[in-house]
Amino acid sequence: MASRLNPYVNFPGTAREAMEFYHRIFGGSLRMNTFGEFGSQEPTIANQIMHAMLETDAGFTLMASDLPPGMPHDAGNTVSISISGDDADDLRRYWEQLSEGGVVSMPLEKQMWGDEFGMCTDRFGIQWMVDITPPQG
């Protein structure tokens, strides 16, 4: 198997809601396991997500978990998740749904380099960049 790079996002108890949100946007297959399923007897985290993995038909993989008590959460940190390509309809749809209820820091619009590009932070504090490249050919 070839190596691959997968974003792994941590949440302060909202991983289930966030991953269901991303599943509605991107489709695909979502698997989630709780701390309780892996044997945690701690009642405050038994139903929280220890590991979630969304794999989409477009080839995206997004993993996530809830942080156990005592681990600090730094929403968004300094990492942005970037989605790019030339399927303008899908990318615009992703943009609309990711930015809904979030904060748009740069509207999705034509840029000086020729692409449509936008940046937002979704309602879960995750930073996204969407870049639509003009079709080549």
* Residue whose structure tokens are 């820091």: 105
- Give the separation between CA 97 and CA 101, rounded to whole angstroms: 9
- The Cα 127–Cα 137 span in angstroms is 31
Domains and CATH numbers, the chain: 8-66 (3.10.180.10), 80-132 (3.10.180.10)
pLDDT of residue 75: 66
Orientation of helix 15-26 relative to helix 88-99, angle to 10°: 150
What is the rounded distance in angstroms from the CA atom of residue 137 to the CA atom of residue 133?
12
pLDDT for the residue 78: 56
- Residue pLDDT, tens place only, 2-24: 657 789 898 989 999 999 999 99
Q: Which of 12-16, 56-60, 67-71, 130-134 has the lowest mean pLDDT?
A: 67-71
Q: Identity (one letter) of the amino acid at 131?
A: D
